[in-house]
Amino acid sequence: MTYKQGSLLAPGGGRAAAAGAAATGPSSAAREARGRWARLGRHRRPLLLLAVCALLTQMAFAMVTTAVEQTPTIDEPVYVGTAVVYVREHSLRFNPEHPPLGKLIIAAGTVFAHPHLAPGFQGDQGQLGRRLLYESGNDPWRVMVWARLPVMVVTLLFGLVVFGFARDLLGSGGGLAALALYAFSPDLITNGSLATLDVPAAGFVVTAAWMLWRARRRPLVYLPLAGVAAGAAVATKMSTLPAVPVLLALAAWSCWHACGNTAPRARRATRSMGAAVGVALILVGVVWAVYLAVDPLLRWTPPANLPAVHGLRALLIDWLPFPDAYLDGMRIQFGFENATWRGYLFGRLYSGSLWYYLPAALLVKTPLGMLALWLGGVLAMGAVPRLRAAVPYVLLLPAVLLAAAMQGSRDLGVRYALFVPVFLAVAAACVVALRRRWAYAVTAGLVLCVAVSSLRTYPYYLPYSNEAFGGPAQTRLRLHDSNVDWGQDLGRLADRLRERYPDNRDVWLVYKGSGVPAWYGIHGHDPLKVPPSRVHGLLVVSDTSIAKAQGRLAQLIHGSRAIDDVGHSVTIFRRP
């Protein structure tokens, strides 16, 4: 038998050909693969920008379309009325229990609405809001949309902060995962679409934390920015004050790290202490600047019946180097904490507060996929060595703020813990740091579950609860107040009565909110002012009032039949 040279059957030729193929094949495939990745790499930045814009556009659409349909919630008229007085009269006399910065953000929108308000109003702040929206010839729909718009803008900007923070820790993939959790969070969409203070306060705290993390490399650039952000948080809500000692400690630690191991310990300690003092001085300066922006003369008269404060609280007030208006606002807040409030959790109506209320409420109102990623992200931060240094910046701050909020006396909503979904969006993205295929797949799948759960509740984000607790239609059975019914559906109620019950021009109404029903065409009578035997026809009750129903109202509801639901926050009964 003969062999042809170079044939596959030839002993030497077959081996040589195979060796040649082995030598050329993989290198060619590798070159093709590298070419594909190179082409993809050239488009990575535009694709990343497109993904970020898509997520923020989705959030903006959800907030805007929700805002234009919701009537004023209970707190909003106070903030909006105060914002108008800030701009026109430069007076601090209204709403002193909250610092001015959040209301100045709201004022950036109200100036474009040009609302009418006679100067020198002498009523209380609740009456001020009613006067502005319903008694001065203004269109409350238009005023509220303009007032809410700046809060929506800063909510989107804080989404970029969350993205940037997570990207610094984890790269672009982690940044997108964190931004997705932020953008699809029902609680952040809800509060970001309202003219309130909770999202700005939480956003400034996470911004300060991000700046302190970056200060580990460039302290001279980022420590002053951290001081500005921390001061903005304190100038927005006093509930952020417990974060200040942590932020100052992190400022010192970031400076210590930036000095490097080669510097003498005494010099590192001196610089670290100087960094903390510098951040504190900038923080105080920002608070003073905000008050001076409202009233350059700082004219302030303490309100009548200012609560007396004793003990450690009084010592804290005496030591804080803030304007008198700020300190008196703290006294008012401490007065609120000394009062007894009524709460509602899992069907139980109680007086006082429960220490576990906020964790329980977060469990109900957070998407299940988000809860799973929160847990996974926290574990990943402890398991991955390179992420352990970020634990104080990402986890310690929300833990301290949550612990402080859990001591409060007002069990009124998860908005008191809104910093939790903001910070834990960054922590949750840390699952991708495990660098396993299953970690990427699980993260993507859970983010998709969060998106689906969020989109399914549209446009009723305020009464959201996750699927394990029955969804938005069942939230009223577990929670109340700003978790479910904050007075936001008065306009929807008017439309429902006009469309489905046109023959019932007069209704029996128990409405919990700041709106004026008559302005929206609802002519309701109070069923609690007449004997139950006279109440017939449509009985309309806010779900928070149902949760708290006792005595005559409980009797009226018991003898009625539920026939309709408005926005998962108002129930319509028919009473024979």
Residues 271, 388 within the same domain: yes
In a shared domain, residues 505 and 444: no
Last residue of a domain, one of 412, 436, 457: 457
In this structure, is residue 53 part of a structural domain? no
Q: Label residue 437 by pLDDT band (50, 70, 90).
A: confident
- Is residue 132 in a domain? no
Q: Do 406 and 548 reside in the same domain of the chain?
A: no
- Rounded CA-CA distance 12/9 in Å is 9
Does some domain include residue 315? Answer: no
How is 30-56 classified by DSSP, letter by letter? HHHHHHHHHHHHHTHHHHHHHHHHHHH
pLDDT value of position 4 = 39
Q: Mean of the pLDDT values across residues 24-40?
A: 56
Residues 359 and 428 in one domain: yes
Average pLDDT, the chain: 92
d(CA 197, CA 202): 9
Q: Which residues span the domain enclosing 439? A: 76-111+145-299+339-457
Q: Is 90 exceeded by the pLDDT of residue 20?
A: no
Do 421 and 563 share a domain, yes or no? no
Q: Are 575 and 537 in contact (CB under 8 A)?
A: yes
Residue 458 burial by Cβ neighbours in a 10 Å radius (0-12, 13-18, 19+) = middle
Q: Decide if 37 is inside a domain.
A: no
* Number of structural domains in the chain: 2
Instruction: Give residues with Cβ within 8 angstroms of 357, minimum separation 6.
Output: 343, 345, 406, 411
Are residues 504 and 428 part of one domain? no
- Please identify which residue in the block is written with the tokens 């809800």: 190
493 and 452 share one domain: no
The answer to the question of residue 404 being in a domain is yes
Q: Are residues 205 and 91 in the same domain?
A: yes
Q: Does 232 lie in the same domain as 284?
A: yes
Does a structural domain hold residue 478? no
pLDDT reading at 564 higher than 90: yes
Residues 150 and 248 reside in one and the same domain: yes
3-state helix, strand, coil in the chain (%, to 5): 65, 5, 25
The residue among 415, 434, 457 that closes a domain is: 457
Is residue 41 pLDDT above 80, yes or no?
no
Q: How far apart are CA 357 and CA 218, in angstroms?
A: 40
- Report the percentage of the chain scoring pLDDT > 90: 86
Estimate to the nearest angstrom the gap between the alpha carbon of 84 and the chain centroid: 24
Identify whether 293 is part of a domain: yes
pLDDT computed for residue 435 by the predictor: 80
Instruction: Please tell me whether residues 409 and 523 are part of one structural domain.
Output: no
Choosing from 457, 475, 502, the residue where a domain stops is 457
Q: 541 pairs with which residues across the strands? A: 510, 571
Position 406 in a domain:
yes
Q: Quick one: 407 and 501 in the same domain? A: no
Would the pLDDT of 36 be above 70? no
Taking the whole predicted model, whether its pTM rises above 0.75 is answered as: yes
